[in-house]
Amino acid sequence: MTITIADLFLILPVLVLTGTAVLSMSAVAVGRNYAVTAVITVAGLLLAALSAVTLSGTNQQVTPLLIVDPYSLFFTAVICLSAMFIGVLSYPYLEGLDDDREEYFLLLGVATVGAVVLVSSNHFVSALLGLETLSMSLYGMVAYTVHSQKADKYPLEASVKYLVLSAAASGFLLFGMALIYGQTGTLAFASLTELSESSLGNGFSVIGLLLITAGLAFKLSLAPFHMWTPDVYEGAPLPATTYLATIGKAAVFVVLLRFVEMTEALALTGILAVLSFLAILSILAGNLLALLQQNVKRLLAYSSIAHMGYLLIAVVASYYVEGRVGIEAISFYLVAYIIMSLGAFGVTSMVSRSDCERDTIEDYRGLFWRQPLLAAVFTAMMLSLAGIPLTVGFIGKFYLFFAGVEAALWLLLTALIVGSGIGLYYYLRIIYRMLEPAASSDQLTMSPQLSSGSYGVVLCLSLLLLGLGIYPAPVVDLIEAISAYV
Amino acid sequence: MILVTLILVLFVGGLACWLSERFNPNLPRVIALLTVLLDFALMFSLLGAEGTSTWVAVFEAPWISRFGISFYLAADGLSVLLLMLTAFLGVVAIGAAWDEVQERSGFFYFNLLWTLAGVLGVFTALDLFLFFFFWEVMLIPMYLIIAIWGHENRSYAAMKFFIFTQVTGMMMLVSILVLAYFHYLQLGSLSFNYHDLLNVSLTGEMGMWVMLGFFISFSTKLPSMPFHSWLPDAHSQAPTAGSVILAGVLLKTGAYGLIRFAVPLFPEASMAFAPVAMTLAAVSILYCAKVAFAQDDIKRLIAYTSVSHMGFVTLGIYAWNEQALQGAVMTMLAHGLSAAALFMLAGGLQHRIHTRNMPDMGGFWPKVPKMTAVAIFFSVAALGMPGLGNFIGEFLALIGAFQANVTLTVVAAFGLILASVYSLWVLQKVFQGEYNNKGFDESHLTDLSRREMLYFAAMMIGLVWMGLYPQTFLSMSEPVLAQLLSESAQTLVTLEGGL
């Protein structure tokens, strides 16, 4: 199969991103300049997002590896914009780093290439390529401050932990893919339900699927594969944590969704039970362990485990419901999750620097009276994570409840209610700490000069959070339209 | 459109309060007062048309069409009564906070007005999604009021309040969704519209579970046994204005929900469940009256009496006949005023002597004669003295309930005796006997100011009006209740015909 110019045009976002990475690398070769590299990367990410928007409406397979349809384009745009936001938030954070700072943006760009490939893949090869590109860059981002004398955290520990476990997960994934390839004879995502049991029996498909599930569950940090999450979140520099927590999760979830839908894997015996089990375990483990945390990064790590569990409910529901409510629920919730996690980590990184991270809950005491705007944003993000109305998190949760009710998944819904109830406690604890009078003068007084770019990003996120929480209709309609393509 | 305006005025006024604080710390309270008064004045335009069973001031706009959700507000006589109660107590609450809240007053009035806006939304929303939306929206500002301006144990109380209401709220959300989904199954389209959902027939076990989702959520807010344990904490820790809104208005949203949604949407399940609900009500009345008697903290005591009085409301609602419902509505209104006044008195005492502990008080009569007189008036009102509003409400509720369930009504009626016991006991402890000033600074123990007297007088007039000429209020809610009764009776007949 030959690739035509027209085909190349369709993968414009990937090309733009790759070009950006090459350009910023060359810029570093010519002469190190932190601001220039940052501007190139951020502009490239914006351009990639715009190019995805201009392509809207296409629905075409480009080579057997990539599918360019409204669904992948939507998430391409979402991912590029989020990466752009993270780029803007990273700038002040890394500005004072006593080491080379420019390559960070290179890694940011390359990771985004991986994420975009991931959401456009309907083939094992592209899925693996995307996943590995994403993960490789993330290893670098997580370890980025490792040579800094003043780095606040333990990036080496985090990075090694992430590297080893992630590689193991990839191993699971590859083995599972091999087993499924043995059944279907194709590396493209293809239906498994029509395979006859006579040849090797569909037992192998099930084992293959379970291995793939385990591999993806590692990446999504679903319990019981979640052990790495809090340590990596805590040890990594904040921008890397943000990337891992938002794009790193969303892109993998999209590929999981596409895989499950195209292979009709849910129809095979046992898979639904396994997913339900993972969902309940993640919801309970994530929420209960989050109760014990004193560190905001670890707390958000556990809360992300719970949120991934909530999302799995919609995956299970998508098997039972007629229509595509399950897929819509997942898509909306992913968007909501990205917005609120970006916002929460955004505020955290705004009050932090590479040599001084403000990540214990105690650090936020009295924030409401020192930095009312930042505290209001953080409060809104926490309420959204808790699923309180007026925020996008509530609409997301409404979608999940709706999918669950339509599929009559009473057990999973009970877990969702109990989990959200527990969740309220730790989100409110942070809010309450911010409302308390500030104890002493040293906390947050040396707060870095807040960059206007970061302010712009968190305000933009808050507007999205409230706007979509109050009038979600445009995005709801858009997601309904694109979900038909999965 | 008027309903949207009513809600928007409060939202905007709240923001104005917050922003105005930086110019002058005294500005927020003035703006808040003017905003609520404006709202109150606007509400009078709703009067007159509500005497029929039709909806007035309907406003409907598409919202999330994917799920058949619309922004649908409407009011009828019942809503109008409760709207006016809300605005009235809003004014009172601002009065209670006038001197008490000095710190961060802008943000305080912002929260107060947003709570009131949420409550107005609850009383007028006729789309169940919108209803749930407002139901939750009023929680956050209330949480902040307790968490920031509360007393010594505010963190615990605020958290407990929020988690209780939010978790049970999610159960209601599931119930709403099941109902909407059954509308889709039975009538072919998704809808959250109240009138559409009335046509859904959910019977048998499913109907019971879904109804329970609503019941648990509403009876947590009401509150009724066994979901009441958040209330004493929330009340004792909240600032006075918070208690006034909580007791006077927020609790009424639960009762309103039962009358408007829980019973009419599930007539069959509700009738089957009625004996249980009435038993819970009777237990609430007696148990909480007994517990109230055992309290030393004056605010906790009033909180428990609130639970006890709200038992009459549940009793009346689940008796589901005209007199009982009228009684429930009257009790809601009268208790709104009397409980708010009692909390203001308790708050006023705490503001003066910095303690809520009754054993430390005693013999205040000669020191604060006006306050004593006011306290006697409202205690007597709360215990159900004929001629005041509470008597009408509880008496009608009991008459109605008697027709539905004799035994439980007889048991519940003993609550009236217990009410006299604890009300008079408080008066005796605090105002009568030997003067006692153990452990507090008496220099601030001053009598009611003119401003305070004004608020109390307004509430007294309200209670006397309700007690002597209840017809004003009864005739506003009467057509609505009659309509609800006839609709549910019709549904029941159709159901029996179908079997």
Taking the C-alpha atoms of B72, B75, B80 and B86 in order, what is their torsion angle to the nearest 10 degrees? -10
* A72 to chain B, closest Cα gap in Å: 22
Assess whether pLDDT exceeds 50 at residue A426. Answer: yes
Assess whether pLDDT exceeds 80 at residue A450. Answer: no
Contact B173 A388 (CB under 8 A): no
Assess whether pLDDT exceeds 60 at residue B468. Answer: yes
Task: Report which of A300, A230, A234, A251 is spatially closest to residue A83, judged by C-alpha positions.
Answer: A251
B206 touches chain A (CB under 8 A): no
Query: Which residues fall within 8 angstroms of residue A198, CB to CB, at 6 or more apart?
Result: none
**Distance (Å) of CA A155 to CA A149, A161, A183, A295, B263:** 12, 10, 42, 16, 59
* Closest alpha carbon within chain B to A404: B174
User: What's the pLDDT at A169?
Assistant: 93
Contact B147 A432 (CB under 8 A): yes
Q: Centre a 10 Å sphere on the Cβ of residue A8 and count the other Cβ atoms it contains.
A: 12
Assess whether pLDDT exceeds 90 at residue A105. Answer: yes
Q: Percent of chain B at pLDDT above 70?
A: 97
User: What's the pLDDT at A446?
Assistant: 46
Contact B132 A406 (CB under 8 A): no
A361 touches chain B (CB under 8 A): no
Going through B410-458 in order, the beta strands assigned E by DSSP cover none
Average pLDDT, chain A: 89
User: What's the pLDDT at B255?
Assistant: 92
Q: Centre a 10 Å sphere on the Cβ of residue A418 and count the other Cβ atoms it contains.
A: 16
> A89 with A346: CB under 8 angstroms?
yes
Per CB-CB distance under 8 Å, the chain A contacts of B190 are: none
DSSP-based three-state secondary structure for A74? helix
User: What's the pLDDT at A448?
Assistant: 53
Tell me the average pLDDT across A235-250: 93
Tokens of B350: 């705490």
User: What's the pLDDT at A382?
Assistant: 93
* A473 to chain B, closest Cα gap in Å: 5
Taking the C-alpha atoms of B272, B276, B282 and B284 in order, what is their torsion angle to the nearest 10 degrees? -130
Taking the C-alpha atoms of B248, B111, B457 and B368 in order, what is their torsion angle to the nearest 10 degrees? 100
Contact A388 B177 (CB under 8 A): no
Q: Centre a 10 Å sphere on the Cβ of residue B203 and count the other Cβ atoms it contains.
A: 14
> A377 with A458: CB under 8 angstroms?
yes
A477 touches chain B (CB under 8 A): yes
DSSP string of A24-70, one letter each residue = HHHHHHH---HHHHHHHHHHHHHHHHHHHHHTTT--EEETTTEEE-H
B22 touches chain A (CB under 8 A): no
* B178 to chain A, closest Cα gap in Å: 6
Tell me the average pLDDT across B32-49: 85
User: What's the pLDDT at B134?
Assistant: 92
With cut-offs at 50, 70 and 90, classify the pLDDT of residue B52. low
Q: How far is it, in rounded angstroms, from Cα A44 to Cα A41?
A: 5
Q: Which of B64, B133, B181 sits opposite A406 (nearest CB)?
A: B181
Q: How far is it, in rounded angstroms, from Cα B12 to Cα B114?
A: 9
Q: How far is it, in rounded angstroms, from Cα A385 to Cα B477?
A: 41
Q: Centre a 10 Å sphere on the Cβ of residue B402 and count the other Cβ atoms it contains.
A: 17
DSSP-based three-state secondary structure for B495? helix
> A100 with A272: CB under 8 angstroms?
no
Q: Which of B136, B148, B163 sits opposite A388 (nearest CB)?
A: B136
- Segment B266-285, tens digit of pLDDT: 888 888 999 999 999 999 99
Residue A193: phi and psi, rounded to 5, are -75, -25
Domain count of the fold of chain B: 1
Assess whether pLDDT exceeds 90 at residue A368. Answer: no
DSSP B261: I
Task: Report which of A172, A32, A42, A54 is spatially closest to residue A454, judged by C-alpha positions.
Answer: A42
With cut-offs at 50, 70 and 90, classify the pLDDT of residue A194. low
> A134 with A111: CB under 8 angstroms?
yes
Tell me the average pLDDT across B172-185: 90
B19 touches chain A (CB under 8 A): no
- Segment B374-403, tens digit of pLDDT: 999 999 998 888 888 899 999 999 999 999
User: What's the pLDDT at A256?
Assistant: 93
* A357 to chain B, closest Cα gap in Å: 27
What long-range pairs does A282-285 form, CB within 8 A, spacing at least 24? A282/A222, A282/A223, A282/A226, A282/A306, A282/A308, A282/A309, A282/A312, A283/A309, A283/A310, A283/A415, A283/A416, A283/A418, A283/A419, A284/A223, A284/A415, A284/A418, A284/A419, A285/A223, A285/A224, A285/A226
Q: How far is it, in rounded angstroms, from Cα A190 to Cα B21?
A: 63
Q: How far is it, in rounded angstroms, from Cα B14 to Cα B33?
A: 11
Query: Which residues fall within 8 angstroms of residue B285, CB to CB, at 6 or more apart?
Result: B308, B309, B311, B312, B315, B412, B415
Q: State the amino acid at position A451 in one-letter form.
A: S
* A331 to chain B, closest Cα gap in Å: 15
Tokens of B169: 């709220």
**Distance (Å) of CA B25 to CA A41, B109, B439:** 47, 11, 33
Per CB-CB distance under 8 Å, the chain A contacts of B61 are: none
**Distance (Å) of CA B259 to CA A359, B192, B315, B324, B477:** 48, 18, 12, 11, 12
Per CB-CB distance under 8 Å, the chain B contacts of A390 are: 133, 137
Tell me the average pLDDT across A313-331: 90
With cut-offs at 50, 70 and 90, classify the pLDDT of residue A87. very high
Assess whether pLDDT exceeds 50 at residue B417. Answer: yes
Contact A435 B144 (CB under 8 A): yes
Average pLDDT, chain B: 88
Assess whether pLDDT exceeds 60 at residue B429. Answer: yes
Task: Report which of B13, B151, B194 is spatially closest to residue B90, judged by C-alpha positions.
Answer: B13
Contact A388 B139 (CB under 8 A): yes
Q: Which of A369, A383, A401 sits opposite B140 (nearest CB)?
A: A383
The question of ipTM being above 0.85 is answered as yes
Q: How far is it, in rounded angstroms, from Cα A46 to Cα A50?
A: 6
With cut-offs at 50, 70 and 90, classify the pLDDT of residue A189. confident
* Closest alpha carbon within chain A to B140: A388
Residue A437: phi and psi, rounded to 5, are -65, 145
Q: State the amino acid at position A391 in one-letter form.
A: T
Q: How far is it, in rounded angstroms, from Cα B314 to Cα B465?
A: 24
Q: What is the CA radius of gyration of chain A?
A: 21
User: What's the pLDDT at A174?
Assistant: 94
Q: Residue B60 belongs to what H/E stretch?
A: strand B56-64
Q: Give B189: exposed, middle or buried? Use CB within 10 Å, 0-12, 13-18, 19+.
A: exposed
Q: For chain A, report the end-to-end CA distance as a whole number of angstroms.
A: 24
Assess whether pLDDT exceeds 90 at residue B118. Answer: yes
Q: For chain B, report the end-to-end CA distance as a whole number of angstroms.
A: 43
Q: Residue A476 belongs to what H/E stretch?
A: helix A473-482
Domain that holds residue B132: 2-498
* A402 to chain B, closest Cα gap in Å: 6
* Closest alpha carbon within chain B to A434: B148
* B400 to chain A, closest Cα gap in Å: 37
With cut-offs at 50, 70 and 90, classify the pLDDT of residue B198. confident
Instruction: Return the bridge partners of A409, or none.
Output: none
Q: How far is it, in rounded angstroms, from Cα A420 to Cα A385?
A: 9
Instruction: Return the bridge partners of A353, or none.
Output: A356
Contact B174 A471 (CB under 8 A): no
Taking the C-alpha atoms of A159, A35, A246 and A467 in order, what is their torsion angle to the nearest 10 degrees? 160
Task: Report which of B217, B206, B204, B214 is spatially closest to residue B182, judged by C-alpha positions.
Answer: B206
With cut-offs at 50, 70 and 90, classify the pLDDT of residue A439. low
* B321 to chain A, closest Cα gap in Å: 34
Mutation site, A327, A369, A406, interface B, largest B CB count within 10 A: A406
**Domain regions of chain A by residue span:** 270-486
> B380 with B419: CB under 8 angstroms?
no
Contact A402 B67 (CB under 8 A): yes
